[in-house]
């Protein structure tokens, strides 16, 4: 019997540990998603206020092509840091920029700097090329079109982003875990409340039993004797104290 109790205790402890790990994992995941959403929201608001002049200190993109294979793969996530000047960009840096070529004009691209050059009006520009591509890009990148230099690559994280943007992703990763945490906290609050109520009821019952027993004893003692004023006052005092305990 004792071994069965120990086994139950171990299983209960293991389940509690698993529940704690799951809860913290969900919390960290939701926290990270919350930070990204907050950053995205702030960026959108700043862009709406400042327009095209707004240049964030760092930017995050999901790669939508394989032009930088094998260095950067399709659906990898890249983190860019803004540069103050085109002179801060060196040959062999990987940069994100806004294309000015007619074929993909206005599109955001990420390619490697393979050389420097100058435009017809004498501005310095960067010659870029995708690692997978066989030819350089047709138009060199000027300073105003540079988004930033790639400083970090998170392999495959774009798949997570793509999944989260789907209805099933929101349901499995956001809605259900959030409901799990909420329901768990509600159950915990109810359990604490019931436990407190149980202690309160036990305390109330103990006080009532004590008062009844005390009064009964005094009445039995005085069954053949008349209670003195002092004894009556003592009974009333005790009863008053017990009522105070009951109220508290």
Mean pLDDT of 62-80: 91
> Domain boundaries in the chain?
1-54, 55-165, 169-247
pLDDT of residue 140: 95
pLDDT band at 213 (very low <50, low <70, confident <90, very high): low
Share of the chain above pLDDT 70, in %: 56
The correct CATH number of 55-165 out of 2.70.70.10, 3.20.20.70, 3.30.70.100, 2.10.109.10 is: 2.10.109.10
pLDDT band at 106 (very low <50, low <70, confident <90, very high): confident
pLDDT band at 127 (very low <50, low <70, confident <90, very high): very high
| pLDDT of 64 over the 80 cut | yes
130-158 pLDDT per residue, tens: 999 999 999 999 999 999 999 999 898 77
* More confident position, 240 or 162: 162
pLDDT of residue 110: 96
| pLDDT of 202 over the 80 cut | no
Mean pLDDT of 34-45: 65
pLDDT of residue 73: 93
| pLDDT of 198 over the 70 cut | no
pLDDT of residue 141: 96
- What is the SS3 assignment for the chain? CHHHHHHHHHHHHHHHHHHHHHHHHHHHHHHHHHHHHHHHHHHHHHHHHHHHHCCCCEEEEECCCCCCCCCCCCCCEEEEECCCCHHHCCCCCEEEEECCCCCCCCCEEEEEEEEEEECCCCCEEEEEECCCCCCCCCCCEEHHHEEEEEEEEECCHHHHHHHHCCHHHHHHHHHHHHHHHHHHHHHHHHHHHHHHHHHHHHHHHHHHHHHHHHHHHHHHHCCCCCCCHHHHHHHHHHHHHHHHHHHC
């Amino acid at each position: 019997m004792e071994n069965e109790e120990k086994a139950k205790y171990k299983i209960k402890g293991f389940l509690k540990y698993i529940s704690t790990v799951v809860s913290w994992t969900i919390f960290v995941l939701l926290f990270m998603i919350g930070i990204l959403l907050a950053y995205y929201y702030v960026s959108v608001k700043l862009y709406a206020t400042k327009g095209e002049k707004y240049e964030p200190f760092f930017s995050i993109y999901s790669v939508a092509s394989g032009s930088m294979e094998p260095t950067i793969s399709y659906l990898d996530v890249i983190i860019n840091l803004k540069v103050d000047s085109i002179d801060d960009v060196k040959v062999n840096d990987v940069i994100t920029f806004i294309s000015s070529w007619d074929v993909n004009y206005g599109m955001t691209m990420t390619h490697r700097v393979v050389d420097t050059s100058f435009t017809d009006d004498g501005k310095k520009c960067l010659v870029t090329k995708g690692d997978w591509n066989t030819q350089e890009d047709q138009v060199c990148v000027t300073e105003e079109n540079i988004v930033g230099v790639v400083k970090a690559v998170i392999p495959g994280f774009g798949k997570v982003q793509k999944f989260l943007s789907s209805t099933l992703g929101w349901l499995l990763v956001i809605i259900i875990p959030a409901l799990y945490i909420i329901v768990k906290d509600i159950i915990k609050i109810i359990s604490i409340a019931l436990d407190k109520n149980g202690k309160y009821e036990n305390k109330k019952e103990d006080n009532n039993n004590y008062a009844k027993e005390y009064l009964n004893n005094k009445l039995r003692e005085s069954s053949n004797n008349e209670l003195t004023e002092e004894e009556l006052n003592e009974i009333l005092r005790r009863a008053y104290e017990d009522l105070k305990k009951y109220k508290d």
